[in-house]
Structure 1
Amino acid sequence: MRLRWFGLWALALVAFCAAAGAWWVNAALGPRDATGESVAFEVTDGASLASVSASLEEAGLADALAFEWLARYRGLGSELKAGEYELTPRESAEQILERLTSGWVRMHTVSIPEGLRATEIAERLERAGLADSVEFLDGVANAAWIRELGLEGDSFEGYLFPETYRLARGLSTRAVLEAFADQFLAHWQMIEPAAREAGLSMREVVILASIVEKETGVPAERPRIASVFLNRLAAGMRLQTDPTVIYGVQDFDGNLTRAHLNDASNPYNTYQIQGLPPGPIANPGADALRSVVEPEASEFLYFVARGDGSHKFSKTYGEHARAVDRFQRGQ
């Protein structure tokens, strides 16, 4: 009889422990706060399951021990995706685990306007918390990545396509550059037949488009500006365009001098070199790219700024000289 009672007590104890365990699991894996607000939570690259679990508990989002147990039980302990997440204590540990392993990261918007240099884009990305500017510029100069992504040249300068991007924080430099390259290549596919018909390579189109982008802020002028440069190249004339010179000047202070124009050591000085500069001087947008492969049919060889953002175009040097006197010297 005594043994029978002992067995019953033992069974009762086991049942109680099982019930208590089940209650703890349900409580520990359930939402931490039914009225809690959303919080930003970051999983750093290479973070361990234990450290992520501890951070979740510190943020009031999950019980560390229970979350770690759940992840291991589900076989997902090594599947956490790096990135920034928007989580809420109203979610269960199961829901949070699903988010962290599926990569439902928080996206951030950054707008890249036409005509920026890679250095300026790097600064914008860093301000948005989307890239380290130094690491980004190192990636811009990675010639191997350029080739692997189907681009031409030895730099991403010119291929950082102007667009509004939605990117996650914590992306690798290469992943960010791939986002830019994908946008460029999507637009390149649309104009590549026209470029091929014009006898222009991808690199030549991008270089010329970058010059067009920097020369005018008037969209309607782009095809005519492009025609001037194409006409000059066809005639064997130097491009003689100030923006290329400026690009090649270290720490340019905004004052373009005669010494700058006479500097033959500047590889981007199109007053001194024949043909195109060695690379793009900015990152052109879709309209500038299209203007190069679909330029206006013209005989213009010169242009000068009017002072209102637009330009006066000329076919002869004499006509151009008179336009310079009128618009820049006030004669």
Structure 2
Amino acid sequence: MSDKDTTEFSRESFKDRILRELEEANKAKSEGTFENYSKENEKAVMPSEIKKRELPEIEPRQIATPFTQPIEDEIPAREAEAQAMLAAFPLDEDPMKFREKEEAEAQAKAEAEAQAQAQAQAQAQAQEAEMPEVLAEEQEYGSLREKLEAIAMQHQGQSYSRRAKRAENEADKLVTEPEALEVHPEEAEIPAVEALKAPEEATAVAGEAMALEAEEASPRQRRARSSEESSDGPKAKKSKKSKPKKRMTAGRIIAVIAVILILLIAGTGFYGYNYVKAGLQPLNSADKSYKTVNIIEGSSSKQIGLSLEKAGIIKNGTIFQYYTKFKNYTGFKSGFYNLSPSMSLEDIANNLEKGGTKQAVAPSLGKITIPEGFTLAQIAKQVTVDADKKNGKTNISTEAFMKAAQDESFINKMKTEFPKLLESLPAKNTGVKYQLEGYLFPATYDYSKETTAESLIEQMLSATNEQLKPYYDQISQSGQSVNEILSLAALVEKEANNDDDRRNVAGTFFNRIAQGMSLDSNSSILYAEDKLGDKTTLKDDATVDTSLASPYNLYANTGTGPGPIDSPSLSSIKAVLSPAHTDNLYFVADVTTGKVYFAKTLEEQNANVQTYVNDKLKQ
């Protein structure tokens, strides 16, 4: 081994021993056992080493040599420098523990930075997914971030290299210049402490790089970082960002689904409402044509609805079925019906309750309406008017109708067809003006191109027969004929305007008949004078000729007269079949108001006539 190698070996060993002794001395000082340590250590030190340790306590040499003088001159300056360095870095703690603590803090800080960087990357990815425009900006500044990180790493490496080199130089000085130990054994720890500061400087450089990157970032990124820095930490950022976002997303999904469901329900309800509403309306209000429909006996409302829908009369058979159930229509009759798409469900149901014809007839061209209380002469004029059209005319003339109504052969044919109705029909030689007067039911009738006066009269007689069918037994048991019931009902129709007055008038007539009194009806005399049906004034009614020679003069003749004077309504017929039970024998009607005043005695009657007739005539 050469002298050079030996010198290097000795130098290295001595440096290690010096560092170990300094650490042990500092530890003993911190534990309060430095004095014992010094004594024990002195025993283990070689005499030559003790001599070296004691060199600083020797009085300064009085004789300076040219070789030692420069070194001695530097001692005060070195002592001052060492004291300043020790003051800046006090070593109150164990150097090893201090180093471990610094290393642990540096490692924890590095891990925190790595975690923050990972979270920043994850957040950047989330922002890129949520805002595509941020992705472009991130890519633009990616190269800048990499450059800054490279600069920081390079700076950190250079700092570590400088600190390590400085520590090695200081150790060499301790070997070559032991006089430096005069300051304090802890001085040798300074390079190590400074070396431990390198991670902090590297962190500072990285922080400056991140600040520079933040200044270069877009305003949107700076706002995002500002929002994140205000939170409690990485975990808090994640919980405040991601979880509410998930909840917000779920809430939006639920809200969208709810809105869709509400719209679907509302749309379905609106569509259903409009569909049902349309089904209740006429299929085509502008289509006035008629179609023949055959309703088979025993058909249910469902089957009838389907038949009407198939024939193009209504829109929906099911809606018709539920409509008739809701309105309690139960008396539908079989037969042939002429119905129009312009008819409402109510009109169709009413026609089905009235009954159809046994044979199919041609579809209707329009309608003929006969008001209640019309005389046969008035009816003959009315059949020429089409009720569906303004100023419309039918294919039936007044002359043809009057001729058919007085045709003996036709009347006999009708007697055969409607025996119960026409059983008590007055004979032509009884003084009756028209045999069929009062037997033609006031209603609305359809007519077609095939309708004749005879077929129309037959249809009217059929309607009266249908209305009286429920009452034939009651009429038979009352001891009166159908002709008498219709005759009284015709008088009631002209004397009263409401159901109560009708029943009271009918009761008064029966009371007078029971006592053998004449009915004293002005209306019958007006009929005999061919004035009934015209607008009657109070004077006309008060000045009737009570001495008129006519079987319809019910002042001069008892009973109900030869026959009805008009076509009574069903209400008047019911009033005669169920009259009011009173003691009234008289009544007077004010033709101007329609009000009827009743009296039990002749004196009361005369007073009413004076008040409501004579006095008004004087006005």
Q: TM-score, normalised by structure 2?
A: 0.36
Quick check: 2:586–2:602 contact (8 Å CA) kept in 1?
Answer: yes
Aligned partners of 2:362 and 2:448 also within 8 Å: no
> Which among 255, 261, 267 is matched to residue 551 of structure 2?
267
Tell me which residue corresponds to 2:381.
123
- Whether the aligned pair in 1 keeps the contact of 2:542 and 2:613 (CA below 8 Å) is no
Match of 2:586 in 1: 302
Q: Please say if 1:317 is aligned against 2:602.
A: yes
Q: Which has the higher contact order (CA 8 A, sep 6+)?
A: 1
Secondary structure in structure 2 of the residue aligned to 1:261: coil
Q: How far 1:257 sits from its partner (Å)?
A: 6.8
2:528: which partner in 1? 248
| Structure 2 counterparts to residues 151-190 of structure 1, below 5 A | 151=422, 152-154=425-427, 155-190=435-470
Q: Does 1:330 align with 2:598?
A: no
Q: Closer, same or farther in 2 for the Cα pair 1:259/1:192, shift >3 Å?
A: closer
More helix by share: 2
Superposition deviation, residue 225 in structure 1: 0.8
- Highest CA radius of gyration, 1 or 2? 2
Q: 1:279 to 1:103 in 2, by over 3 A?
A: closer
1:245: how far off?
Answer: 0.3
Superposed, 1:1-331 pairs within 5 Å as: 104-128=362-386, 129-142=394-407, 143-148=411-416, 149-150=418-419, 151=422, 152-154=425-427, 155-250=435-530, 254=536, 255-256=540-541, 258=543, 260-263=545-548, 265-306=549-590, 307-330=592-615
Q: Look up the equivalent residue of 1:300 and give its one-letter code.
A: N
Q: Matches of 1:159 and 1:292 in 2, distance apart?
A: 16
CA distance, structure 2, for counterparts of residue 330 and residue 300 of structure 1 = 23
CA contact (8 A) 1:114 1:285 kept: yes
Report the TM-score when normalising by structure 1. 0.65
AA paired with 2:481?
S
Over 3 Å counting, the alpha-carbon distance change for 1:315 and 1:104 in structure 2 is same
Consecutive unaligned residues in structure 1, runs of 5 or more: 1-37, 41-85, 87-101
| Structure 1 pair 279–231 and aligned structure 2 pair: CA distance change class (3 A) | same
Amino acid in structure 2 at the alignment position of 1:278:
P
Paired AA for residue 320 in structure 1: Q
Equivalent position amino acid for 2:402 in 1? L
Letter in 2 for 1:305: A
CA contact (8 A) 1:194 1:294 kept: no
Structure 1 letter corresponding to 2:518 = R
Change (3 A) 1:195 1:259: closer
Determine the structure 2 residue equivalent to 1:58: none
Shift of 1:108: 1.3
State the one-letter code of the partner of 1:231: N
**Greater CA drift, 250-259 or 207-216:** 250-259
Gaps of 5+ in 2: 1-286, 290-339, 341-359, 387-393, 428-434
Q: How many residues align?
A: 235
In the alignment, the residues of structure 1 paired with residue 482 and residue 600 of structure 2 have an alpha-carbon distance, to the nearest angstrom, of: 28
Instruction: Give the root-mean-square deviation of aligned CA atoms.
Output: 2.7
1:177 aligned partner, one-letter code: I
CA distance 1:259–1:171, shift in 2 (3 Å): closer
- Aligned with 2:614: secondary structure? coil
Checking the alignment, whether the CA contact within 8 Å between 1:249 and 1:266 is kept in structure 2 is no
